[in-house]
Structure 1
Amino acid sequence: MNIRHRETFRSAPESEALAAGARACAYLRVSTGRQAESDLSIPDQRKQIAAFCATKLWSMLAEYVEPGASAMDDSRPEFQKMIERATDDDRPFDVVVVHSFSRFFRDAFGLEMYIRRLAKAGVRLVSITQELGDDPAQVMMR
């Protein structure tokens, strides 16, 4: 196994609150050709997210893939499809899983806005490499 592709999964507080059997979707994104060829490639993100979900006993129901898209704004078609589906009235997902929050959104304000939009629909955002807490101090830090 190539060491640079090896990932240690953190046990994030928000991921521990989700029970086995949680319904997950993955969001996979690269913005550059260099990322696509490195350890952040779409196949690497997919493999790492699948392994993370397997350890949590979460069911991976959908995947949204955005190659060559910047995360500086939300004008990404697959991102918008995922958000719309995740916030549908039928609540198809319990969690959106990303490799890191920079794959989801690069702007802190945008990240927080979408975290709150998902939370209103009962959906959590979980990064397999970064912790994100819900207590008031951690929300303020975000």
Structure 2
Amino acid sequence: MTTNTAVRFEPASSSPATIRVASYLRVSTGRQAESDLSIPDQRRQIERYCAARGWTIVEDYVEPGSSATDDHRPAFQEMIDAALAPPPMFSIILVHSFSRFFRDQFQFERYARKLAKNGVQVISITQDWGTTR
């Protein structure tokens, strides 16, 4: 007796979509630019961090010689505009430390909430704030 049994093949599970990252690199002083917080050093550390996780950097936003005490920073504003455009071209803004993004905690939280509403998260490679990624 032969039994015809339909066999259903599931496609091989593909890897999850690549996480797309924007790096934000900033120094406020010439002294920082020459020390271990230099733009090239921040970039190298962020590239290693992404490589270890299989993340892809899709854009670098570089702000040499700008203070993070306010949001009057051209590269910062360009990055925020890109992050808030539907759909955003990246889901993570990666910084060396949160102070690179904003020094004022209230302003940091304001931007973080605004970005989160569009699915974008701010993550530091040196400070863990209980992120989900």
TM-score (norm 2): 0.84
User: Retained in 2: the 8 A contact 1:20–1:56?
Assistant: no
Query: How many angstroms apart in 1 are the aligned matches of 2:39 and 2:125?
Result: 14
Partner of 1:113 in structure 2? 110
- Distance change in 2, residues 1:134/1:44 (3 Å): closer
Task: Specify which of 84, 89, 94 is matched with residue 87 of structure 1.
Answer: 84
- Give the equivalent residue in structure 2 for 1:103: 100
Determine which of 19, 25, 30 is the counterpart of 1:28. Answer: 25
Q: Residues 23 and 57 of structure 2 are in contact (CA less than 8 Å); yes or no, is this contact kept in structure 1? A: yes
Match of 2:52 in 1: 55
Which structure 1 residue ranges, 4+ long, deviate > 4 Å from structure 2?
none
Q: Which runs of 5+ in 1 are unaligned?
A: 1-18, 136-142
C-alpha change, 1:58 and 1:127, in structure 2 (3 Å) is: same
Unaligned segments of structure 2, at least 5 residues: 1-15
Distance 2:51 2:17 in 1: 10
Matched, 1:129 2:131: no
Q: Name the structure with the higher helix share.
A: 1
CA-based RMSD: 1.4
SS at the partner of 1:60? Answer: strand
Q: Which has the larger radius of gyration?
A: 2
| Cα distance per residue 1:30-72 (max 9 Å; x no partner) | 0000000000000000000000011110010000000000000
What is the count of residue pairs matched by the alignment?
Answer: 117
Please state whether the residue corresponding to 2:122 is helix, strand or coil: strand
- Equivalent position amino acid for 2:25 in 1: L
Contact 1:28 1:66 in 2 (8 A): yes
**Per-residue CA shift, 1:110-140, capped at 9, x if unaligned?**
11011101101101111000011269xxxxx
Identity within the alignment, %: 58
Q: Tell me which amino acid in the other structure corresponds to 2:104.
A: D
* Alpha-carbon shift at residue 90 of structure 1 (Å): 2.2
Give me the TM-score of the superposition, normalised by structure 1: 0.79
